[in-house]
Structure 1
Amino acid sequence: MTNIALIVLDTLRKDYFDKHFDWLPGTRFENAWSTSHWTASAHASLFTGKYPSEVPVNKKNEFFPATETSIVERLSESGYRTRGFTSNIYMSSNFNFDKGFDELETSWRVKQIPSENTFNWGAFISTHRDEGPSRYFKALYQCLTDDSDTIPSLKYGSKMKLNDLGIITHEDEGSKRALEFVRKSNFDTDGEFLFLNLMEAHAPYDPPEEYKMVERPKINKRRPSLTGGYDDPEWPRTAYDDAVRYQSDIYEKIFQAVREDFDVVITVGDHGEMLGEDDTWLHWIGIRPEVSHVPLCLSGDVDIPDAESVTSLVDVHATLADLADLDMPSPRGESLLRSTNRDSRLVEYRGLSQRRREVVEKVGGDPDEYDRDCYGIAEMRYHYDTLDGFVGDKEWQPRIAEAVESLNLERAEDDRVSDSVIEHLENLGYA
């Protein structure tokens, strides 16, 4: 059995990958595309070989469905030991993406989310923000008198305050912990599957001090990418570059450690990032190439017959199944280890979550302006919808419509996440 590692460099733009990851060995796919503009939808494609709305995982449903089979589950059923590390809350039990993992370790950000029985200090203080310092005493009283688990709640509140005061600090977004996880794991010589999600390139762009050319930019959590809002746009761009430089350096150590035990390592981005193009920031609006064009590299002793054709995250799913010799066809993808006719791949944007609609409304915007579908199609070029019109060859518009019409669309339920999870998402620039 082939030992396989799938490592996702979350939010890494293709152009910044080219700039900073020249050390990474393997076959690079220059024309690789995500299926979406954000983490959960992109990973749904990696894990199922479907387009996100076929699963369905999109902004109307952020949870991996219980009825859907993940390739991680199939690997486990076929005898693989499945282990992972995630820095991203979406790739955790909070959103059902832990299905099939024998072991899934999480970063400090995910660990700090309180359980349902823990008093949510952050949510309480946020809703009483106008009351000054007295809100902390009210929160303490509420913690001691409600139905929460008192001791864990007090510990959580203390840790939050120490974080705010800078007494407790974290070296990075989790990659150092991921390196420790890889080094301490006793991998077998065969039958191992490893998944890593590394978040250094994701906001808040806060690498270790020695990498900082600028101080970490403040993200307006209420409208992070609706209007931009940076007097000096080079500030967040430089901060992003700082974070990617650090991601490259720490990933080089992780990669070297992984290659000691794994035959094939697939390094891929789930989506990119907007850095002021169209006065847009982060990655919650649209499918411009800055967001949808992703890095993809296969490292190991494998024959790649065609690295020039267009490829997508759905093809990564097919490749994983091929490497593991699974009888698990990829509904939309083709293995990168086989000579096939990959002529085009779809990218989708399915509007806003209800939480984001509420944020847009609170700042006086019209959520309907952003809450609509856009699709793109990648071939030798990329043609795509924007909120302001179509970019690319007009002759491809009917092809996009045909591709969308062929999707096996599933109805997406609007699931509700806990207040503590919402608070965590807001800290990362989501709503």
Structure 2
Amino acid sequence: MKTLLVTVDSLRHDHFEYMPNTLTFLDMNHNRAFAPSTATIGSFPGIIGGEFANGAGLTGTSIATRFDEYSVGLTTNHLLSEEYGYDEGFDVFNSPKGGGDSIKDKAAIYLTRGSFAYRLASWGWSHYQRLTNLSGDVEKSFRSAEKIISQFDSEIDNREEWFGWLHFMEPHHPYDPDGSEMSRAQAQRLTRKVLAGSGGESDQERVRELYRLEVAELDKKLDMLWKAIPDDTRVVFCADHGELLGEDGMWGHPGEMRPELLRVPFGTKNAPEIGGVVSLLDVPSILLGSEYGLGELDRDVAFATYGVKKAAMNANNIATDKGVISFDSNEPTEDPSLERALDRFEPGSVVKEDALKEDLEDLGYA
């Protein structure tokens, strides 16, 4: 059997429409799919282990251990490295190495997003980037999708059966697409400026356009992958969380229980039938064709957590401690059953300091 999991960092549900090649390739596009957290470190224990996060890294058993076939894991985010346990079960695993021992690493977790110290650190990093970029353009922020796809193609060449997991960082910020009229250095500086809380509406709209270009360019690159793999490959495609693009003055993926962050693109090919609501905890079950961990093949409610915050989502609404919001109207509504489900939900929680550390790493401080 050939099985492939493709995950994308920070991809908004409402930008899936800018990926026509991927939408055409997939058999099913599941419109009510939800992340178990608002950040990578909180979502991937569910995607890979079928469990809610309980600290930093994979604490459950990797789905890769359930495949007897040759297995390849290629990620572009150091939070998904061996350091966090994500190499478990893979014959070949490649990921950026995480840090954690530098002064910047240790200081980062104490800076609250939006605080004066955080803004000062953001300004310092942006100023440093401006100085180092004066001599010319800079490289892509992360290992490119082309390189990941090329390596994966080489790894599975001439193999009849395999399991693969590919994680792409496009369109994670800083948004620096190849096709922008701006240089890569300019795009990175502008993105960091806006995410740090500076810049006017014209700057913000340019950053939104950079994000859209990142999504569209990734789709063109993924088309190479879709054309290369055999037609009978079982595929699950999803984002680990969404992204805020200025809603209520917020950018990136802070720990807010919002639809823009929790509702994610999700599609399958040659996969078993599943219900109308999907949690990313269900990914291992869909890959295997049988329930795994806390995953389900037919669920009515999905849950999410970040620190002490939590949310419950069904096909129509999202419930948080702020009330219930309709997905269709984005207006307050009533859903007593969903609110009761939220009250009963008590998972292990994402360690807030770890998620804050990721936020700072996004801006380059760790």
1:93 counterpart (44, 66, 82): 82
SS in 2 for 1:383: strand
| Aligned counterpart, 1:348 | 305
Kept in 2, the 8 Å contact 1:288–1:384? The answer is no
* Counterpart in the other structure of 1:105: 94
Give the direction of change, closer, same or farther, for the CA distance of 1:220–1:375 in structure 2 (3 Å limit): same
Is the aligned partner of 1:278 residue 2:248?
A: yes
With over 3 angstroms needed to count, the CA separation of the structure-2 counterparts of 1:299 and 1:292, relative to structure 1, is: same
Partners of 1:277 and 1:411 in 2: CA distance? 23
- The residue correspondences of 1:212-251 to structure 2 (distance < 5 A) are 212-214=180-182, 215-218=186-189, 224=195, 227=197, 229-232=199-202, 233-251=204-222
Q: Are 1:196 and 2:166 matched, yes or no?
A: yes
The 3-state SS of whatever aligns with 1:278 is helix
Shift of 1:10: 1.3
Secondary structure of the structure 2 residue equivalent to 1:218: helix
- The one-character-per-residue Cα deviations of 1:143-197 (angstroms, maximum 9, x if unpaired) are xxxxxxxxxxxxxxxxxx9988547734964211112112211346544110000
Give the corresponding residue for 1:181. 151
In 2: Cα distance, 1:218 partner to 1:207 partner: 13
Is the 1:228–1:280 Cα contact (8 Å) retained in structure 2?
A: no
- Are 1:84 and 2:73 an aligned pair? yes
Residue identity opposite 1:5 in structure 2: L
Q: Which residue number corresponds to residue 333 of structure 1?
A: 295
- Bigger drift between 376-385 and 216-225 goes to 216-225
Q: Deviations along 1:296-342, whole A, 9 cap, x unmatched?
A: 11123x453x56x11111121211232xx6xxx4343223xxxx4x2
Q: 1:18 maps to what in 2? A: 17
In structure 1, the residue corresponding to 2:163 is in which secondary structure? strand
State the secondary structure of the residue aligned to 2:44.
helix
Query: How far does residue 83 in structure 1 lie from its aligned partner after superposition?
Result: 0.8
Change (3 A) 1:20 1:414: closer
**Aligned position for 2:65:** 73
* Alpha-carbon distance in 2 for matches of 1:404, 1:48: 25
1:377 alignment partner, SS class: strand
Aligned sequence identity (%) = 24
In the TM superposition, residue 410 of structure 1 has moved relative to its aligned partner by 6.9
In the TM superposition, residue 413 of structure 1 has moved relative to its aligned partner by 9.9
Deviations 1:112-135 (A, max 9, x none): x6797x999xx9xx99x99xxxxx
* 8 A contact 1:213–1:238 mirrored in 2: no
8 Å CA contact 1:14–1:272 kept in 2: the answer is: yes
Q: Which residue of 1 aligns with 2:263?
A: 293
Bigger Cα Rg: 1
SS of the aligned residue for 2:189 comes to coil
Equivalent-residue separation in structure 2 for 1:70 and 1:34 (angstroms): 18
Asked whether the equivalents of residues 173 and 200 of structure 1 are also in contact (C-alpha less than 8 Å), the reply is no
Q: Which amino acid aligns with 2:56?
A: E
Distance 2:359 2:248 in 1: 27
1:404–1:176: structure 2 CA closer, same or farther, 3 Å change rule? farther
Q: Shift of residue 394 of structure 1?
A: 5.9
Q: Secondary structure at the match of 2:195?
A: coil
Question: Counterpart of 1:70 in structure 2: which amino acid?
Answer: S
Give the CA deviation at 1:33: 1.1
Amino acid in structure 2 at the alignment position of 1:200: E
Q: Which runs of 5+ in 1 are unaligned?
A: 131-160, 351-372
SS of the aligned residue for 2:284 comes to: helix
Q: How many residues align?
A: 335
Structure 1 pair 92–424 and aligned structure 2 pair: CA distance change class (3 A): farther
Cα deviation per residue 1:41-74 (whole Å; 9 max; x = unaligned)? 111111222233xxx1xxxx32323xx3222233
Partners of 2:272 and 2:235 lie apart in 1 by 13
Q: Deviations along 1:217-266, whole A, 9 cap, x unmatched?
A: 536869936x4654422011011011111111111112222x23862111
C-alpha separation in 2, matches of 1:423 and 1:310: 28
Q: Which residue of 1 aligns with 2:325?
A: 391
DSSP 3-state at the match of 2:210: helix
Asked if 2 retains the 8 angstrom alpha-carbon contact of 1:5 and 1:262, the reply is: no
Aligned to 2:208, the other structure's residue is in SS state helix
TM-score by length of structure 2 reads 0.77
Distance 1:105 1:380, change over 3 A: same
One-letter identity of the residue aligned with 1:31 = R
Verify the 8 A CA contact 1:83 1:103 in the aligned structure 2. yes
